[in-house]
Amino acid sequence: MDTLPLPDDGDTARPTPEHLRELYSLMAAVRHLDLSAVAWQRQGIIPGYAPELGQEAAQVGSGYAVDTSRDFVFPTYREMGVARTMGVSMVEYMSTHKATWHGGLYDPVKSRLAPIQAVVAGSVLHAVGWAHGQTLDGSDAVAMTYLGDGASSQGDVHEAMNFAAVMKAPVVFFVQNNGWAISVPTERQVAGGSVAARAAGYGIPALQVDGNDVVAVLAATRRAFAHCRSGNGPVVIEAMTYRRGPHSTSDDPGRYRSLDEERDGAGEDPLHRFRQQLQADGVADEEFFAQAQASAAAEAEKIREGLEALGPRPGNEMFGLVFQETTPALQSQAVSWREESEHV
Ligand SMILES: Cc1ncc(C[n+]2csc(CCOP(=O)(O)OP(=O)(O)O)c2C)c(N)n1
Ligand SMILES: [Mg+2]
C-alpha cells in the first residue's frame, strides 16, 4: 500500500555507497548491543530488557531519516536501534534498563529522543501534542512516534491519528508490525487487513513497507518526513517485520509459538540480507564486514563498562522529580521513606 501523494524519487534518493556502509555498520552495532543486553540481563547487570532482534532494518532505516537539529522522536520500550542511530549515548540510554534512573540519563531535549515509554501507545499522543506545538511556532520540525501492531488496538491511537489529521500536525506514525503483541499474533488483534489500511479513515496517507529492507524503510521515512515538513499533515508508515526474540527478557515465546512457526514467520534475517546485497553490488567486502563486527563488539564492551560504573542515584530523587512543585502527600511520603531507609 502506498497512498502518499509525494512520488517515490527512486534511484535519485538512493543512499551513496558510503551511506549504505554506514547503515550496515549501524545495524551490526545494534545487533551486537541487543544480543549483549540480553546476556547482561542474564548476568544480572541489568534487571530487564526488551530485545529488538530482527527489527534492526526498521529501526536503523527510520532513525536515519531524523534530523536531530529540529525533529523529535517519541519511542516505545523497544527502540534501542533508533536511539543508537540518532547518536544517543548508549550508556545513558541503557541506564533506564539498569533501573539506575527512571527516565534514563540522556537529555531528551538535546538528543531529540523522548524518554523510553512503557505505556503501550503512550507516545503517540505526546508526539501529536509536540507536533501541533511546532505548527503554532511556525517551525517545520516533524515528530516521529513509534508504536506496535498491538498498540494500534489502543483507543489512544484513534485519538492521536484523528487529531493529528484534523490539526494537520506533522507526525510520522511509524508502526513496527512485528507480528506479535507479547503472545497475541497480529491476526488476532488487527482488524481491517492492516494498520496502514486504517489511515484512510482519518484521511491520512499511508505506506506499507518491507520493514526488513533498510533501504526501503529509509526511503519511505524520508518521503513521509518531506510530506509532513511541507505542511501536509501526518503520515502512517507500517513496517512489516518480525520479532525474532522474546517479548522481553522475562518472556518465554516457547509457550505460545513453535520454532517452526518462528522460522516461517521471521523469513530472512535483515542483517544477513543487507550484507548479501552489499556484497553482490560490490559496495562492501569481507574486510569491511569483519571490521564492522569488531567495532560493534568493542563498542558493546565499552557500554558494559560504562553501565557497570554507574552508581545508584540518590533515592530522594524519586520524590523530587514527580512535580515541579511538590505536594503535601508526596512530602510526607518522602519523610517516611527517609526515616525507613536512612534510619533518621
Ligand atoms: C496501556 C498498557 N497496556 C498493556 C500493557 C502491557 N503490554 C506491554 S507490551 C504489550 C504488547 C505491545 O505489543 P506491540 O504494540 O505490538 O509492541 P511490541 O511489544 O510488539 O513491540 C502489552 C500488552 C502496557 N505496558 N501498557
Ligand atoms: Mg508487536
- One of 19, 158, 229, 256 is an active-site residue; which one? 256
**Ligand that comes closest to the CA of residue 53:** 1
Query: Closest residue (by CA) to atom 2 of ligand 1?
Result: 120
Mean pLDDT of the chain: 95
Angle between helices 56-63 and 270-280 (to 10 degrees): 70
User: In the predicted model, is pLDDT for residue 101 greater than 80?
Assistant: no
Cβ–ligand 1 contact at 247 (below 6 Å): yes
Among 299, 248, 314, 249, which Cα is nearest to 100's? Answer: 314
pLDDT at 344: 64
Q: What is the pLDDT of residues 168-223, one digit of tens each?
A: 999 999 999 999 999 999 999 999 889 999 999 999 999 999 999 999 999 999 99
Question: Cell numbers of 160, please?
Answer: 492521536
Calculate mean pLDDT across residues 87-108.
Answer: 90
Separation of 151 CA from ligand 1 center, angstroms? Answer: 6
Is 237 in contact with 175 (CB distance < 8 Å)?
Answer: yes
Among 288, 273, 196, 176, which Cα is nearest to 4's? Answer: 196
Domains by residue range for the chain, with CATH: 10-313 (3.40.50.970), 314-344 (no CATH)
**Ligand that comes closest to the CA of residue 177:** 2
User: In the predicted model, is pLDDT for residue 134 greater than 70?
Assistant: yes
Q: What is the pLDDT of residues 217-257, one digit of tens each?
A: 999 999 999 999 999 999 999 999 999 999 999 999 999 99
Cβ–ligand 1 contact at 233 (below 6 Å): no
Q: Is 102 a known active-site residue? A: no
Question: Cell numbers of 106, please?
Answer: 540522556
Element (H, E) at 336: helix 328-342
For residues 338 and 222, give the distance between their C-alpha atoms in angstroms, rounded to a whole number: 51
Calculate mean pLDDT across residues 44-50.
Answer: 95
pLDDT at 12: 57
Residue to probe by mutation, ligand 1, list 120, 187, 243, 250, most atoms within 8 Å of CB: 120
Cβ–ligand 1 contact at 181 (below 6 Å): yes
Separation of 111 CA from ligand 1 center, angstroms? Answer: 25
For residues 2 and 202, give the distance between their C-alpha atoms in angstroms, rounded to a whole number: 15
Calculate mean pLDDT across residues 134-140.
Answer: 95
Q: Left if phi > 0, otherwise alpha if psi is -120 to 50, otherwise beta: which for 333?
A: alpha
Calculate mean pLDDT across residues 301-319.
Answer: 90
User: In the predicted model, is pLDDT for residue 68 greater than 80?
Assistant: yes
pLDDT at 148: 98
- One of 198, 247, 275, 304 is an active-site residue; which one? 247
